[in-house]
């Protein structure tokens, strides 16, 4: 199994298939997508080679990310390729849900096992202000379709002013009778968002304290789960999760690696650079890719330095899918 020099084991791969996004979220791409690469994104055979290499080294879960992954017309084929890889037990996707009602069934049919959708506010006007799109009703409709189909659904919301007070309560009311997990993610500093970060960053600890005081309790995590601390309440069908990368010890349980849409390994979301693995992918060299992965993994640091304002090469989260 893939293991670093700190004894952390990696069973979770975040695989970006494009860095293009059609939303203009003000914490990520306030000016919209700016093409800064060749857009020579991973092909289906390269994805097949990559996932095979990781699965044979103990990876059980693959999350398909972007940019916005649904902008790739071959997304159902990508999901199917990942799902049909021996050893892969979970195939997840993170999406903005732009065309979710039309697309979700094809993803389920292809083998998708869980869905994450970014929804930063349940107020339609505020949602449009944040994302640049009046699409909240469409996205919620798609979430409802997925939920009724029995697909596990998580909703991601970046922790900013919109989830204070009434906004937080609106999310609580929404999941009272829905088996949906809403995860609040601390705003992270990137190369392009320092001004916004300085104004908007909030610790998730106050929300955690509020949840605990209201009778919410921690849920035990699965080995392939992401970094969220998840909470449940006997009066709620849904759950609340908190992702707090600025909290002490956040990196100690890291179990995930990232491959960018250009075939670079990122040992951390905020690594100084991506490490090129494309030659192995292009030649379908599974064994060579595995050897290189094991070698490069020994350079993974014990943690990030976000608390020191060091963001590495990450200009914005769409670069490598968060």
DSSP string, 163-198: GSTHHHHHHHHHHTTS-EEEEEEE----TT-HHHHH
- Token pair belonging to 263: 């075939």
DSSP 3-state of 130 = helix
Q: Which tens digits make up the pLDDT trace of 54-100?
A: 999 999 999 999 999 999 999 999 999 999 999 999 999 999 999 99
Q: Which tens digits make up the pLDDT trace of 199-228?
A: 888 889 999 999 999 999 999 988 788 889
φ and ψ at residue 62, rounded to 5 degrees: -125, 125
Percent with pLDDT over 70 in the chain: 95
φ and ψ at residue 206, rounded to 5 degrees: -65, -40
Residue 130 has pLDDT above 80, yes or no: yes
- Nearest to 229, CA basis, from 237, 321, 12, 216: 216
CB atoms within 10 A of CB 219: 16
Q: Which tens digits make up the pLDDT trace of 250-295?
A: 888 899 999 999 999 999 887 878 999 999 999 999 999 999 999 9
* Helices 100-110 + 136-148 axis angle, to 10: 30
Contact 67, 20 (CB under 8 A): yes
Mean pLDDT in the chain? 92
Residue 275: how many CA atoms within 13 Å on its side-chain side?
19
Q: Which tens digits make up the pLDDT trace of 48-58?
A: 999 999 999 99
φ and ψ at residue 41, rounded to 5 degrees: -75, 160
The predicted pLDDT at position 35 comes to 72
- Nearest to 201, CA basis, from 231, 170, 169, 245: 245
Residue 37 has pLDDT above 90, yes or no: no
Domains in the chain: ranges and CATH: 12-319 (3.20.20.70)
Instruction: Give CA–CA dist 254/10, Å, rounded.
Output: 8
Strand order in the sheet with 180-186: 217-218, 229-232, 239-243, 180-186, 153-159, 114-118, 90-95, 61-65, 12-16, 256-259, 264-266, 275-276
Residue 248 has pLDDT above 70, yes or no: yes
The predicted pLDDT at position 246 comes to 87
Instruction: Give CA–CA dist 231/242, Å, rounded.
Output: 8
Instruction: Give CA–CA dist 274/224, Å, rounded.
Output: 23
φ and ψ at residue 273, rounded to 5 degrees: -165, 160
Residue with token string 């903005």:
96
**Would the CA dihedral through 56, 151, 316, 239 be positive or negative?**
negative
Q: How many residues does the chain have?
A: 322
The predicted pLDDT at position 214 comes to 95
């Amino acid at each position: 199994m893939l293991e670093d020099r700190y004894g952390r084991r990696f069973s979770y791969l975040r695989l970006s298939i494009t860095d293009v996004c059609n939303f203009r979220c003000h914490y990520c791409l306030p000016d919209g997508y700016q093409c800064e690469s060749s857009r020579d994104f991973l092909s289906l055979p390269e994805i097949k080679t990559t996932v095979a290499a990781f699965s044979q080294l103990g990876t059980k879960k693959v999350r398909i990310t972007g940019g916005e992954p649904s902008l790739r017309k071959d997304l159902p084929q990508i999901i199917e390729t990942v799902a049909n890889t021996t050893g892969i037990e979970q195939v997840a996707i993170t999406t903005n849900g732009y065309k979710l009602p039309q697309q979700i069934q094809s993803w389920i049919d292809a083998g998708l096992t869980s869905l994450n959708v970014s929804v930063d506010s349940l107020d339609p006007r505020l949602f449009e202000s944040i994302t640049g799109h009046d699409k909240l009703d469409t996205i919620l409709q798609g979430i409802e379709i997925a939920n009724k189909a029995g697909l596990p659904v998580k909703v991601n919301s970046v922790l900013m002013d919109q989830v204070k007070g009434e906004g937080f309560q609106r999310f609580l009311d929404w999941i009272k009778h829905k088996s949906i997990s809403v995860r609040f993610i601390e705003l992270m500093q990137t190369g392009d968002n320092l001004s916004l970060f300085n104004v908007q960053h909030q610790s998730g600890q106050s929300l955690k304290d509020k949840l605990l005081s209201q009778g919410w309790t921690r849920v035990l995590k699965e080995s392939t789960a992401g970094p969220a601390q998840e909470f449940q309440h006997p009066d709620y069908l849904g759950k609340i999760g908190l992702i707090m990368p600025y909290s002490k010890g956040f990196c100690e349980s890291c179990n995930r690696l990232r491959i960018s849409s250009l075939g670079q390994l990122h040992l951390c979301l905020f690594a100084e650079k991506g490490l090129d693995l494309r030659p192995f992918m292009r030649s379908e060299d599974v064994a060579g890719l595995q050897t290189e992965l094991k070698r490069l993994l020994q350079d993974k640091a014990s943690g990030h330095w976000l608390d020191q304002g060091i963001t590495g090469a990450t200009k914005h989260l769409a670069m490598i899918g968060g």
